[in-house]
Amino acid sequence: MPSFDAIIIGGGTNGLACAARLQKSGRKVLVLESGSAPGGGALGADFAPGYRAPGLAHLVHMLDARVETDMDLARHGLSWAATDLPSTALSATGDHLVMEGAAGERLTGSVSAEERRAWAALRTELMAFADVLAPFKELTPPRLAKGVGNDVWQLGKLGLKTRMMGKDRFREFLRMLLINVHDVLNDELTDPRLKGLLAHDAVLGTWLGPRSPNSLIHLLNRFAGQVAGKRASLAVPAGGMGAVAAAMAASATASGVTIRTGAAVAALIVEGDRTVGVTLASGEDLRAATIISAISPKTTFLKLLGPRHLDTGFVNRIRHMKSRGGAAKLNLALKGRPDFRGADLRSRLVIAPDEHAVELAFNAVKYGEAPDRPVMEILVPSAFEGGHAPDGHHVLSAIVQFAPCGQAVGTDAIRERYRNQTLAVLEQHAPGLADLIVGEELMLPADIEARHGMVGGNWHHGELSVEQMLFLRPVPGIAQYQGPIAGLWLAGAGCHPGGGISGAAGWNAAERIVREVRS
Amino acid sequence: MRAKTAMKPDPRLHFQAPLLETPFHPRTSAANRLNAWVPWGGYSTVLEFEDLAMEHSAIRNAATVYDLCPMVKYRVRGREAAAYLNRLTVRNVAKLQVGSVHYTIWCDDAGKIVDDGTLFRLADDDYRICCQERHLPWLLDSAHGFDVTIEEVTEEIAALSLQGPCSYAVLKAAGFDVETLKPFRIATFPVDGGELMISRTGFTGDLGYELWTSPDRALALWDRLFEAGALYGIRPIGSAALDMARTEAGFIITNLDFIPAHQAVREDRVRSPFDMSLDWMIDWEKGHFNGRRALLAEREKGSEWAFVGLDIEGNVSAEHAIIYHDKKHEVGQITAACWSPTVKRNIALAHVKRPYHAEKSGNLWVEIYAMRELQYVKLMLKARICERPFFKPARRTATPPGLF
Amino acid sequence: MIYDAVIIGAGHNGLVTAAYLARAGLKVMVVEKNDWVGGAAVSRELYPGFTYSNCSYVSSLFRPEIMRDLELPKHGLQILPYEGGAVFTEGDGYLGMHRNHDANRREIARHSPRDAEAYDRYARDVLRHCRFIRPMLLRTAADPASFRPRDMAELAWLGKQMFGLSEMAMYDMIRFWTMSIADFLDEYFENGVVKAYQAVASIIGTALGPMSPGTAYVLLHHAMGDVDGNVGAWGFARGGMGSITKALTASLTAAGGEVRTGSGVAKILVRNGRATGVVLENGDEVHGKRVVSNMDVKRTFLKHVDEAELPGTFLKRVRNFKIRGSSGKLNIALDRAPKFTALPEGSPYMKGDMHFTDSIEKMERAYDDWKAGHFSRDPFQDMMIPTMIDPTMTPPGKHFMSCFIQYAPPKIEGNDWTDQDRDAFAETVLNQIEAHAPGFKSSVLHYEVRTPRELEKEVGLTEGNIFQGELTFDQLLFNRPVPGYAQYRSPIRDLWICGSSTHPGGGVMGAPGRNAASEILRDMAKPSKDMSDAYAVL
């Protein structure tokens, strides 16, 4: 039995990124993945014979640059079926609006010149704000205290950069940082399709409506992301979403990381008030000086470590950490090519007729109910390349918002209703789609929790809301990736800067571990 | 005679009497000649029955009865009750035997004291916490992940404290044989179809017991004690007399001697076990408990405060006075003080900034504003740090206890 | 005659500004469009013998420093703290509130023994947040984009305040400022009724539901006041809320200031980029060396100033200022006290604020109706009967009832309110009360309905927003009313703003008015000897 310096629990993108970075620092790293292959939520799966769904996510838009470059993912098999993917705001009448380039640099479709100007101005401003936020993603969140190891120089630089946006823009930044996206859209724009698309994107993966204060920052966070060297851009990996994780796993393995699949961790081993190892579900004990959890903080502390090794106040914070999933995943196996009234299938298709539709869809889930008309983001991976479905057939992957979360709402009646409402919206935008369906899979947040261990079905292992961001993420006191007990570290999406096929949290955590822990 | 179990009153009508009466109220009100009542924990309680000096004197000379009902009681039961309490409190509960009591404290994450109290082990998996403040949410939240049940049982228990050199004699005369009962041990006696629990505990630093029964047996217990105690000069005492006795004994009271962590509005008012000089209780080896990591760090780094006893020159009580070093720099505050009739010294309990708690040069001073006929007399008196308790009679712990 | 200052609007903030300026020796004229003074702090006899507090209805935020400086008690102001309050629950139950700590605990324990003991810590934490924010109320917010020494110093002061907290307290404060009241309450309480009662203060006057982030701060806005040092307590002004503005007016006139009622302003006169006075609706001109507007920022700049006088970005920010009407009112004269079937005889609950919304979800659903452009089908009510303790407002045995209602949108599905809408709104409210107090409707002698339409028309509050602008972070502190103009000045020289559109916002607080006066006097380099320092919060 070889010994390891570090054991990483969870072989998702963050676990793999963390492993690769640590291994490079000269440590011996073991990654434990409960599933049959590394990848977590990024992993694709066959959901009907011959049809492969892309997993939870179906697009990459914030792959951490350090991960992409330093892990040399291209060399380990990652290539892109499409980059700089346009987004189509679908219209029920076929009058689609398409956003192309970084953060919708160009608009095509019937859009007035005035609206184009308005959008260009707003986009410039939002991109400037996103520029300010972007570097924070690669930073260990600072602590609000003196002499506690903050990277003061780095923070000062970022602060100065923010101030140097210019007086007016800096003022606008401070005004808009916590504003709701609905107001911004209505202050600046008029086109319902554009407003619908942006409102949708702002609340994608959150538990907020466009009218909820603090919602604009999520749009900024999207625009602060990058993939394949391009800011605010979308990309489809060749070979399906699983390819990202596969490349990361290959890179990690190549650098010496050991990955064990089918290895679910049942508990952490604590000796002398430090974590010294893990006990697998099989009963096997594995030991290492550094234990890193890249899975949900709630699971890590409440199940694997257990409250008796923690303080009550801390346990309260973890218990009250919000982790409501608002998105469902629908995969459809289609025997023919879906037609969204002529929309380009080689784009991201969004059904969000206007910002009110997004708000209305959110209304219902506040009460654990299913909305009448959900909004959604659709990708047809089979339109980009073969291998997803039999020839001439297609796979449609949709992230449908909002979906009720919690055990009580996992009932068949709600599932059935949710399915029907979603298909009705789809049918309206792609007449005849229903007749093409030969297989389907619908995952409500409760199903996502069951399959991927994401508490509440939240993709970020905890809501990425302002009160759970940066030094407040996952909860105050452990935002710098260091757990409350010696030897334990966090590296998952539950930490800053959150999830989204990025690897940033894992990489940041590794950077800090390298700094703090002598190998 | 047992009081009849009354119909449970309409719980909505509590507004008619915002302060409850304790189960002993018919007796305490009859004895309360001064009619001096103070609210305590939602109950009307007696400050002074008749004469403070007589009441205090009885604590050290005869036998006294103090109504303890407003103390908040929680019952902790279940398979993991001991593990739960070990995580909650700083002492090692594994060392607490069935039929025993210990004084303990519990802390928040930052290692600041939430409250102090006594922990009774009634049976293997059955404990009772008795404390000053209410903590149900904290106790329930702490139970997350443990197989225990927590109940608030304050109103289910009537409690009396019987203290004084003659307290054993009174119990004996009342028919309760506690001759072999050692300090911090519990004995139970059948009474009138129910049970009386007697613990050799108290808050006076003298020989004494605390008696626990059900509210419907409260008056019968009172009467039995007073009948048996008549020859021994038994008398009820109010909080004022008890406060003097506890100061002599060096005991602290929540919210008088420290502000509990969950109530402090001002962050700097909270105190750690080190600050309160209660760190002797901490069992560092028992495993994790709330605040342990913060307290370990404090042990390394040092604490800001110490809690000390003071002997102040002169005879003017120094309640709430400010303490100075070299008559200039503020280094602490007094939380409790009195002229002690028992030890004939001017004593006080105080928070003192470290390192002045170890001041040996005699350069600590207490500034007292003594109100004398509408004018303050300003005094700057020398204070000496001294050991607590100020009064520690051998009879307190002697077993078998003496018949004084 | 050229006044030193012409103040537009005799609401409480306008009068506060005017009174401070008059006391500093300035010749001051307040012009008011209505035939009475008071703005939204008024007492009006709308039914013979009955005094109505027909807009604002309770007091807590009004700064005690102002009461003392302007000698308001001498001029007749008396604040009466009240007790009681209840939320009625489904099934004829209720949760009451008590000022007495132990009574309050026992009352909550009827609903949840755990929450009964959780209340102290909750109240402690809210008080901690109050203590942090209170010192900011009587200070002009720093402009974080400015490098002027004064702004840098003010920012440093703010930083010092922040770093006076422990690290964890700072995190908790930032969380508190950004989270929803529903989430905040979940961290303390388990019982839905307890949470519903506490959530009340976080939605009043606000176009947000309790599940919206940012509503925890709104709770603070209602909890940071006090009655005689009792932080979080509320009271009535004896004789109705108009007593506050009556006392202010008396104080003003005693200091030599003047008030001209029935004098609506048509236009603010601007010459060579400087405000020089106002033109009244009747064509009269009132000239002044400076003009101070107590109107909300939208009304001031979009209706009374030529667009050409204002920079484009400023205009845009003002246009985009969020001032959404979200509430309405019913003011009712009663022949007798209502009998709420749930309340036991002799209970004190009717002396305080009463509500019928017993869950956060019901509040949120009421908000959903507003978002859809309707008034709430099952609205939230903050109901008061001040005559339970104030004998001056009605004939003996009769009562005045003030019902504050949420949510009511400024427009019904995009259209102006009609009289039918208004009547349907009133009927919904009356029926809600009748359901808990049978026979109530038959005791109604007269009532006045105030939808956002009436509030805008009569009081001048744009869209009927009672705070002259939403209290979300994008419109607080240095962002209020618009970034770069948060120091009571405007792009036009000598045109000042002093209303609730400015920091620290709405409520009958008087702080914006005092802060504006302070800035004006500072600008004139005139020491304000009659302006006491903000009381230290110890």
Mean pLDDT confidence for C18-37: 97
Checking DSSP bridges between strand C327-334 and strand B43-48, what pairing results, if any? unpaired
Out of C98, C117, C169, the one facing B135 most closely (by C-beta) is C117
Which of B122, B155, B188 is the endpoint of a domain? Answer: B155
Instruction: Mark whether B121 and B65 lie in a shared domain.
Output: no
Is residue B2 over pLDDT 60? no
Instruction: Report whether the peptide linkage leading into residue A497 is cis, meaning its omega lies within 30 degrees of zero.
Output: yes
Q: Which residues pair with C287 in a beta bridge?
A: C2, C277
Question: What does the alpha-carbon distance between residue B231 and residue B221 come to, in Å, rounded to a whole number?
Answer: 17
**Average pLDDT for runs of 10 along chain A of length 519:** 89 97 97 90 82 91 96 96 97 97 95 97 97 95 89 87 92 97 98 98 97 98 94 94 93 97 97 97 97 97 98 98 96 97 97 98 94 97 94 97 78 88 98 97 92 91 96 97 98 95 97 89
Q: Do B109 and A311 touch (CB under 8 A)?
A: yes
Q: Report the gap between the CA of C12 and the closest CA in chain A (Å).
A: 28
Q: Tell me the DSSP string of B278-292.
A: -GGG--TTS---TTH
Residues B36 and B47 sit within 8 Å (Cβ to Cβ): yes
Residue B4: pLDDT band by 50, 70, 90 thresholds? very low
CATH class of domain segment(s) C2-41+54-78+238-321+469-523: alpha beta
Q: How many helices (H) and strands (E) does chain C have?
A: 16, 22
Is residue B1 over pLDDT 50? no
Q: Report the gap between the CA of B137 and the closest CA in chain C (Å).
A: 6
Predicted pLDDT at A42? 67
Nearest Cα to Cα of residue C528 among C161, C1, C16: C16
Predicted pLDDT at A148? 87
In this structure, is residue B198 part of a structural domain?
A: yes
Q: Do C120 and B267 touch (CB under 8 A)?
A: no
Predicted pLDDT at A1? 54
Instruction: Tell me how far apart the terminal alpha carbons of chain A are, to the nearest angstrom.
Output: 19
Q: Could you tell me what percent of chain C has a pLDDT over 90?
A: 96
Q: Do B145 and A309 touch (CB under 8 A)?
A: no
Contacts of B270 in chain C (CB under 8 A): none
Contacts of B134 in chain C (CB under 8 A): 105, 117, 120
Instruction: Mark whether B334 and B381 lie in a shared domain.
Output: yes
Helix (H/G/I), strand (E/B), else coil: B291: coil
Q: How many Cα atoms within 13 Å fall on the side-chain side of residue C153?
A: 5
Assess A465–C contact: CB distance below 8 Å, yes or no.
yes
Note the pTM of the prediction, 2 decimals. 0.97
Instruction: Mark whether B84 and B22 lie in a shared domain.
Output: no
Instruction: Mark whether B149 and B170 lie in a shared domain.
Output: no
Dump pLDDT digits (tens) for C303-357: 999 999 999 999 999 999 999 999 999 999 999 999 999 999 999 999 999 999 9
- Taking the mean position of all CA atoms in its chain, how far away is CA B305? 22
Using alpha carbons, list the distances in angstroms from residue C298 to B67, C31, C319, C486, C537. 65, 18, 7, 14, 34
Assess A269–B contact: CB distance below 8 Å, yes or no.
no
- Taking the mean position of all CA atoms in its chain, how far away is CA A443? 16
Instruction: Mark whether B161 and B150 lie in a shared domain.
Output: no
- If you ran DSSP here, which 8-state letter would residue A367 be given? T
Q: Do B263 and C113 touch (CB under 8 A)?
A: no
In this structure, is residue B381 part of a structural domain?
A: yes
Is residue C139 over pLDDT 60? yes
Checking DSSP bridges between strand B64-67 and strand B72-77, what pairing results, if any? unpaired
If 0-12 CB within 10 Å is exposed, 13-18 middle and 19+ buried, where does residue B378 land? exposed
Instruction: Mark whether B161 and B245 lie in a shared domain.
Output: yes
Q: Tell me the DSSP string of C64-101.
A: HHHHHHTTTTTTT--EEE----EEEETTTEEEE--SSH
Q: Do C213 and A170 touch (CB under 8 A)?
A: no
Nearest Cα to Cα of residue A363 among A320, A406, A403, A324: A403
Q: Tell me the DSSP string of A218-255.
A: HHHHHHT-EETTEET--BEETT-THHHHHHHHHHHHHT
Helix axes A113-133 and A181-188, enclosed angle (nearest 10): 140
Q: Do A467 and C478 touch (CB under 8 A)?
A: no
Predicted pLDDT at A41? 66
Instruction: Mark whether B381 and B311 lie in a shared domain.
Output: yes
Which structural domain range is residue B359 located in? 304-386
Which chain C residue has its CA at the smallest distance from B135's CA?
C117
- If you ran DSSP here, which 8-state letter would residue A405 be given? -
Amino acid type, A490:
L
Q: Do C474 and A168 touch (CB under 8 A)?
A: no
Residues C238 and C390 sit within 8 Å (Cβ to Cβ): yes
Contacts of B177 (CB under 8 A, 6+ apart): B171
Q: Mutate which of A308, A309, A312, A317 to disrupt the B interface (most B C-beta within 10 Å)?
A: A312
Predicted pLDDT at B3? 46
Question: What does the alpha-carbon distance between residue A388 and residue A380 come to, in Å, rounded to a whole number?
Answer: 9
Predicted pLDDT at A43? 73
Checking DSSP bridges between strand B36-40 and strand A437-443, what pairing results, if any? unpaired
Question: What does the alpha-carbon distance between residue A446 and residue A452 come to, in Å, rounded to a whole number?
Answer: 10
Which of B155, B190, B209 is the endpoint of a domain? Answer: B155
Q: Mutate which of B90, B138, B141 to disrupt the A interface (most A C-beta within 10 Å)?
A: B141
Question: What does the alpha-carbon distance between residue C240 and residue C226 come to, in Å, rounded to a whole number?
Answer: 18
Residues C237 and C78 sit within 8 Å (Cβ to Cβ): yes
Predicted pLDDT at A410? 57
Predicted pLDDT at A408? 61
Residue C259: pLDDT band by 50, 70, 90 thresholds? very high
Residues C292 and C17 sit within 8 Å (Cβ to Cβ): yes
CB pairs under 8 A between B and C: 63
Residue C260: pLDDT band by 50, 70, 90 thresholds? very high
Amino acid type, C32:
E
Q: Which range has the worst mean pLDDT, A197-201, B352-356, C82-86, C529-533? A: C529-533
Strands lying side by side in the sheet with C5-8: C258-260, C28-31, C5-8, C291-293, C495-497
Nearest Cα to Cα of residue C240 among C506, C510, C56, C85: C56
CATH of the domain at B108: 3.30.70.1400
Question: What does the alpha-carbon distance between residue B87 and residue A231 come to, in Å, rounded to a whole number?
Answer: 49
Q: Domain ranges in chain C?
A: 2-41+54-78+238-321+469-523, 80-232+323-459
Task: Give chain B's contact residues with A (Cβ, < 8 Å).
Answer: 83, 87-88, 108-109, 138, 141-142, 144-146, 287-288, 290-293
In this structure, is residue B291 part of a structural domain?
A: no
Q: Do C348 and B135 touch (CB under 8 A)?
A: no
Q: Report the gap between the CA of C303 and the closest CA in chain A (Å).
A: 19
Q: Do C472 and A213 touch (CB under 8 A)?
A: yes
Q: Do A174 and C483 touch (CB under 8 A)?
A: yes
Residues A130 and A223 sit within 8 Å (Cβ to Cβ): yes
Dump pLDDT digits (tens) for C196-207: 999 999 999 999
Question: What does the alpha-carbon distance between residue B159 and residue B68 come to, in Å, rounded to a whole number?
Answer: 5
CATH of the domain at B366: 2.40.30.110
Phi, psi (5° rounding) for residue C403? -115, 110
Checking DSSP bridges between strand C291-293 and strand C495-497, what pairing results, if any? parallel
Question: What does the alpha-carbon distance between residue A344 and residue B61 come to, in Å, rounded to a whole number?
Answer: 98
Question: What does the alpha-carbon distance between residue A342 and residue C416 come to, in Å, rounded to a whole number?
Answer: 40
Question: What does the alpha-carbon distance between residue B4 and residue C211 come to, in Å, rounded to a whole number?
Answer: 50
CB atoms within 10 A of CB C74: 11
Nearest Cα to Cα of residue C290 among C7, C20, C511: C7
Predicted pLDDT at B7? 62
Out of B83, B108, B288, the one facing A313 most closely (by C-beta) is B108
Q: Do C107 and B15 touch (CB under 8 A)?
A: yes
Token pair 């196996």 is found at A333
Residues C228 and A480 sit within 8 Å (Cβ to Cβ): no
Contacts of A175 in chain C (CB under 8 A): 474, 479, 483
Token pair 């006088």 is found at C309
In this structure, is residue B90 part of a structural domain?
A: yes
In this structure, is residue B242 part of a structural domain?
A: yes
Phi, psi (5° rounding) for residue B199? -115, 145
Mean pLDDT confidence for C426-452: 98
Predicted pLDDT at A126? 98
In this structure, is residue B42 part of a structural domain?
A: yes
Q: Which chains lie within 8 Å of chain A at 3 or more CB pairs, if any? A: B, C
Q: Report the gap between the CA of B115 and the closest CA in chain A (Å).
A: 15
Using alpha carbons, list the distances in angstroms from residue C141 to A170, C12, C524. 16, 21, 19
Q: How many helices (H) and strands (E) does chain B have?
A: 8, 19
Nearest Cα to Cα of residue A221 among A135, A130, A128: A130
Mean pLDDT confidence for C454-473: 95
Token pair 């490349």 is found at A247
The mean predicted confidence, pLDDT, of chain C is: 96
Assess C123–B contact: CB distance below 8 Å, yes or no.
no
CATH of the domain at B47: 3.30.1360.120
Instruction: Mark whether B62 and B164 lie in a shared domain.
Output: yes
Is residue C487 over pLDDT 50? yes
Residues C290 and C467 sit within 8 Å (Cβ to Cβ): no
Dump pLDDT digits (tens) for C151-165: 999 999 999 999 899
B328: its two tokens: 């200039």
Q: Give the torsion sign (CA, A487, A490, A491, A497).
A: negative
Nearest Cα to Cα of residue A58 among A183, A240, A209, A327: A240
What H or E segment, with its residue span, contains residue A279? Answer: strand A274-280
Predicted pLDDT at C431? 98
Phi, psi (5° rounding) for residue C431? -65, -35
- ipTM for this prediction: 0.96
- Our count of domains for chain B comes to 3
Out of A144, A163, A320, the one facing C171 most closely (by C-beta) is A144
Task: Give chain C's contact residues with A (Cβ, < 8 Å).
Answer: 144-145, 162-163, 167-168, 170-172, 174-175, 178-179, 183, 186-187, 208, 211-214, 313, 320, 322, 361, 364-365, 368, 371, 472-474, 478-479, 483-484
Instruction: Mark whether B172 and B64 lie in a shared domain.
Output: yes
Q: How many helices (H) and strands (E) does chain A have?
A: 16, 22
Predicted pLDDT at B249? 98
Instruction: Mark whether B245 and B161 lie in a shared domain.
Output: yes
Which of B128, B155, B182 is the endpoint of a domain? Answer: B155
Is residue B254 over pLDDT 60? yes
Question: What does the alpha-carbon distance between residue B64 and residue B241 come to, in Å, rounded to a whole number?
Answer: 10
Helix (H/G/I), strand (E/B), else coil: C344: coil
Q: Which residues pair with A469 in a beta bridge?
A: none
Predicted pLDDT at B76? 98
Which chain A residue has its CA at the smallest distance from B86's CA?
A308
Q: Do A315 and B141 touch (CB under 8 A)?
A: yes
Q: Do B290 and A316 touch (CB under 8 A)?
A: no
Q: Do A313 and B109 touch (CB under 8 A)?
A: yes
Q: Report the gap between the CA of B102 and the closest CA in chain C (Å).
A: 25
Residues B115 and B131 sit within 8 Å (Cβ to Cβ): yes
Instruction: Mark whether B171 and B242 lie in a shared domain.
Output: yes
If 0-12 CB within 10 Å is exposed, 13-18 middle and 19+ buried, where does residue A69 land? exposed
Instruction: Mark whether B51 and B166 lie in a shared domain.
Output: yes
C413: its two tokens: 């599905």
Question: What does the alpha-carbon distance between residue B305 and residue A413 come to, in Å, rounded to a whole number?
Answer: 62
Assess C96–B contact: CB distance below 8 Å, yes or no.
yes
Assess C303–B contact: CB distance below 8 Å, yes or no.
no
Out of A309, A315, A484, the one facing B144 most closely (by C-beta) is A315
